[in-house]
Amino acid sequence: MSPVTRMYGVVAMVTALIASNAIAADDKEIIDYREHIMKTLNEQSAALGMMLSMAVPDDNAIAHMEAIALAAKMAPKAFEPKVQGGQSKPEVWTNWDDFSKRMDDFAKKTDEMVRVAKTKGAATAMGNIIEYLPCKSCHDVYRDESKK
């Protein structure tokens, strides 16, 4: 093998390595993105929970509800790329119709929560919080917490 041929071989190998790394990084970022949105939902729900248990004043309650409603609207887009991994079960994509319907319902329910809070008061909306936040019912089917 001439040195030039050998060099071409090395270049091809390095190029292939870089390309496969780039694909892996893309997938990781897609997973990171949906997890960032889920974590946002988690932090905002935790803040509301502190107000529910009266650990902190509830002056910001409606703002936290609005943050949840906004993040709920961002979530479906983050799951559109069919990238398996993270804590998502494969069913997210094999049962996409059901999964995306649940995401739609989630967005509608959180909008309703904000509407009730603004018209009838944060305390009234807080009284129904479990109904407005179907986090667990979706996780029971589509999230595998043992995956991390």
**Chain residues that interact with ligand HEC, rule: CB under 6 A:** 31, 34-35, 38-39, 41-42, 45, 68, 86-88, 92, 102-103, 106, 133-135, 138-139, 142-143
Nearest one of 63, 40, 50 to 135, comparing CA atoms: 40
- The residue (of 6 and 39) whose beta carbon lies closer to ligand HEC is 39
Measured from each CB, the residue nearest to ligand HEC is 86
Amino acid symbol at 125: A
Distance set, CA 59 to CA 35, 42, 86 (Å): 28, 19, 35
Measured from the CB atom, the residue of 101 and 118 that comes closer to ligand HEC is: 101
Give least dist CB 19 to ligand HEC, A. 24
Q: At closest approach, how far in Å is the CB of 86 from ligand HEC?
A: 3
For the residues of 41-82, what is the DSSP string, one character each? HHHHHHHHHHHHTTSS--TTHHHHHHHHHHHHHHHHHHH-S-
Which residue, 45 or 126, has its beta carbon nearer to ligand HEC? 45
